[in-house]
Amino acid sequence: MPAPPAALGPCDDAPGYEEAVGFDRADALAPFRDRFVETDGDLVYLDGNSLGRLPVRTPDHVTAAVEGEWGDRLIRSWKEGWWELATDVGDRLAPLIGAGPGEVVVADSTSVNLYKLAGAALAAGAGRARVVTDDLNFPSDAHVVAGLARAAGGRLDIVASDGIHGPVEQIEAALDDDVALVTLSHTTFKSGYTYDLARVTAAAHAAGALVLWDLSHSVGAVPVDLGGAGADLAVGCTYKYLNGGPGSPAFLYVRRELQDRLVNPISAWWGHADPFGFDLAHSPAPDIRRFQTGTAPILSLRAAEPGIDLVVEAGIDAIRAKSRALLAFFEARWRDRLAPLGLTWTSPTDPDRRGSHASLGHDDAWRLTQAMIELGRVIPDYRAPDSVRLGLSPLTTSFVDVHTATERMARILELGLHEPFPAEATVVT
Ligand SMILES: *Cc1c(COP(=O)(O)O)cnc(C)c1O
């Protein structure tokens, strides 16, 4: 790679810089940035919505678990905190999503948790076998529930959107007494549209259906009130805004009143009422533990704790307020600097209806993304076919980051620095 051109160096002479500095100075959450590892002060990392940064405390916390709990205490550690760790971490995460104690467990992946909860909902559907989602959902989620709906003799209906906004009214119109389950991403992965969770939950309930929210792109950035809305089920990642590390275990939520009505379709021993009874008949645990599968990934749970604790410590309302301010500043920089260069705003403009990331559309989005990473030292995400997605993780993103990123993006396009990059996308983008 050639050395980055001088034009992609400091951007402190560009319009908007002083404003960004002022916002950072007034930002009560700014000190949290020092609680995360930063090895390259010139890198602008705008992908905390895909893989959150490493908390400073995590390496020591994991080392203590490896050396002390595993190395020294060995199997005794199961009785000294490991056995309940998945529900303990779930209880700590619970306030972020409006859940109570005993309603959340941290286990398995988001995809597996989705399978378990959607499968449980279909089995409880008393003959209803249709599932409703939208075309903004993470395609993998749609694949998981489509397979389950087919196996139950039903089908998945994917309600069409305009590509940016959740098709709320069309979803409401699609609900009837055939529908067992409505499942949506609360904040959608590309445009960042954020549903009115209470409204859709109420509509699903009015049709006699259950609702399952995927909170992967909300948790840790957008306050969620599952309890207040009476939502039934939810899943989500801990490696995005919760900074739990690559592949860290996901969470699942089951409203307390439903827990003894729903049955985990993977009836393994960690969901058994008496796992060490080794009875050949399976009797599900009476509580949230019935939605566990096999042995908890202890080291990954330990790695996930500091990131979750940091979000709880900062407070989700303060995080949301900063997220809104970051998005507003990003939108203003886009309007001044990027819209004239042909980048379109392909996310909601209503601050109440978006999460903490936004996407920009451009025909050359993939080459632009490569130039941003390789020359601009700005890491966004490319999302096929034509989006550059910028995630503004409130605990680790500054207003100057947003200014630098948008300015370097503009300079790349002005100078055509993206043009030599290959047009063909790689497998991982
Ligand atoms: C990130 C994400 C996932 C990831 O699922 P994994 O099982 O962890 O790979 C699933 N659904 C949504 C909506 C996501 O944003």
pLDDT of amino acid 120:
98
Mean pLDDT, residues 66-79: 98
Q: Which ligand 1 atom sits nearest the alpha carbon of residue 240?
A: 1
Query: Which of 47, 50, 111, 242 is the pocket-test mutation for ligand 1 (most atoms within 8 Å of CB)?
Result: 111
What is residue 2's predicted lDDT score, i.e. its pLDDT?
56
The token duo for 140 is 């993998």
Q: Determine which helix (DSSP H) or strand (DSSP E) holds 130, and give its type and residue range.
A: strand 130-134
CB 238 within 8 A of CB 215: no
Q: What is the pLDDT of residues 130-141, one digit of tens each?
A: 999 999 999 999
Question: 309-333 burial, b if ≥16 CB within 10 A, otherwise e?
Answer: bbbbebebeebbebbbbbbebbbeb
How far, in Å, is the centroid of ligand 1 from the Cα of 22?
A: 36
Beta carbons within 8 Å of 130's beta carbon, 6+ residues apart: 149, 154, 155, 156, 157, 178, 179, 180
pTM: 0.97
Q: What is the pLDDT of residues 311-336, one digit of tens each?
A: 999 999 999 999 999 999 999 999 99
**Confidence band of 126 (pLDDT split at 50, 70, 90):** confident
Residue nearest to atom 3 of ligand 1 (CA): 110
Mean of pLDDT values over 361-374: 96
| Eight-state DSSP code of residue 165 | S
**Closest atom, ligand 1, to C-alpha of 113:** 7
* DSSP alpha helix (H) spans, 48-152: 58-64, 85-93, 110-123, 139-151
Contact 225, 201 (CB under 8 A): no
| Averaged pLDDT for residues 270-274 | 97
**Cβ atoms of 327 and 354 closer than 8 Å:** yes
Which of 116, 130, 240, 354 does the annotation list as catalytic? 240
- Ligand 1 centroid–CA 183 distance in Å is 14
pLDDT value for 61: 98
**pLDDT for residue 5:** 81
242 lines ligand 1 (CB under 6 A): no
Element (DSSP H or E) covering residue 181:
strand 179-185
> Does residue 111 line the site of ligand 1, with CB under 6 A?
yes
Summarize pLDDT for 42-53 with one digit per residue, the tens: 999 999 999 999
Is the model's pLDDT at 37 over the cut of 70?
yes
| Band of pLDDT at residue 424, cut at 50, 70 and 90 | confident
Shortest-distance atom of ligand 1 to CA 137: 13
Could you tell me the distance, in angstroms and rounded to a whole number, from the CA of residue 110 to the centre of ligand 1? 5
pLDDT in tens, 84-96: 999 999 999 999 9
Residue 342's contacts (CB-CB under 8 Å, 6 or more residues apart) are 362, 413
Which residue's C-alpha comes closest to atom 14 of ligand 1? Answer: 216
pLDDT score recorded for residue 429 = 78
Q: Which of 51, 108, 110, 193 to mutate to test the pocket of ligand 1 (most atoms within 8 A of CB)?
A: 110
Q: What is the mean pLDDT of residues 280-298?
A: 97
b/e per residue 218-243 (b: at least 16 CB within 10 A): bbbbbebebbebebbbbbbbbbbbbb
Question: According to the model, what pLDDT value does residue 1 have?
Answer: 52
Report residue 25 as tokens: 């100075």
Q: In percent, how much of the chain has pLDDT > 90?
A: 96
**Mean of the pLDDT values across residues 21-35?**
98
Confidence of residue 276 (pLDDT cuts 50, 70, 90): very high
Q: Using a pLDDT cut of 70, give the percent of the chain over it.
A: 99
> Residue range 196-206: average pLDDT?
98
Q: Is the peptide bond before 385 cis (omega within 30 degrees of 0)?
A: yes
Angle separating helix axes 399-415 and 316-333, nearest 10 degrees: 30
Tell me if residue 214 is catalytic.
yes
For the chain, what is the mean pLDDT? 97
Verify whether ligand 1 is closer than 6 Å to residue 344 (CB atom): no
Q: Which atom of ligand 1 is nearest to the CA of 109?
A: 7
- pLDDT value at 80 more than 90: yes
| Average pLDDT of span 240-251 | 98
pLDDT at residue 321, as a whole number: 98
